[in-house]
Structure 1
Amino acid sequence: MMKRDSRDSTWWRLAPVCVNLLLGVPAIIPLYSAWLLLTEYRSCALDNSGFESHCGDVSVIEGAGWARLSLVIFGGLGLLSVLAVDVLFPLATGKRLRQWLSASLVIPVPCLLAITAFVVFN
């Protein structure tokens, strides 16, 4: 009978956290786009009337469009990857679903670290 190594079991407990931290790196793009829509482009965030609107100058209108587009595309792809990794993978392999879903709370950590570094060093 083989004895399980304690380091091996620690790795399997930390694997969901590590995988979700890696998912958080590309999640910076939709999170930053949402941040832009809520702060700088707030007046044009949900306005689809294009250049006929009165929500600001041309740079605000064009920036809000790109922010909306990146939020929808990269946010959708991010949600699909989180669904695949945190729900479908544990169900297919028999892993504990609660452990993977609770580890998904660390996805915004890389974005928060990037914002913190930007504020500190800028």
Structure 2
Amino acid sequence: MLAPALANLAIGVPAIIPLYLTYWLLTDYLPSPCDAFAPDPELSNCDYHTLDHAPVMMFLLTVTGAILLLALLTVDILGPRRRADARPGRWLAMATLIPAPFLVLLCLAKT
């Protein structure tokens, strides 16, 4: 029971990057009041700094998210199938620990 928890916590440390990128897109980019068809860009109270960074952040989210899913597939699904004694259900249940390091850092940043 300890091996799946430690393995998924170890995946959670590099998973901080795609989780932060998702957090940024949901908290900074989506609520942005930018109107592409505004007659005067100054009237929309748009943060162009956020708009400039959005394509890069989305690309990085795609790349790091794919790497995270590949690691999750390798560790939690393919790994237990190679071992006869390990059940994949126990490993997949411990996958809920992957966002734990990000949530701890997010809570520490808010205080």
1:115 corresponds to 2:106 = yes
Indicate the SS of the match to 1:40.
Answer: helix
Higher relative contact order structure (alpha carbons within 8 Å, sequence separation ≥ 6): 2
- What is the distance in 2 between the residues matched to 1:43 and 1:20? 32
- What is the distance in 2 between the residues matched to 1:91 and 1:21? 20
- What is the distance in 1 between the residues matched to 2:47 and 2:103? 30
Alpha-carbon deviations, 1:56-105, whole Å to 9, x = none? Answer: 34311222112211110001100000000000000111211111000101
TM, length-normalised to structure 2: 0.82
Q: Which runs of 5+ in 1 are unaligned?
A: 1-12, 45-52
TM, length-normalised to structure 1: 0.75
- What is the distance in 1 between the residues matched to 2:24 and 2:51? 12
Q: What amino acid does structure 1 have at the position aligned with 2:49? A: S
State how many pairs are aligned. 100
Give me the CA root mean square deviation.
Answer: 1.7
After TM superposition, the structure 1 = structure 2 runs for residues 6-21 of structure 1, keeping only pairs within 5 Å, are 13-21=1-9
- What is the distance in 2 between the residues matched to 1:113 and 1:82? 20
Question: What corresponds to 1:37 in structure 2?
Answer: 25
- What is the distance in 2 between the residues matched to 1:21 and 1:33? 19
- What is the distance in 2 between the residues matched to 1:58 and 1:114? 27
Q: Is the 8 A contact 1:20 1:107 kept in 2?
A: yes
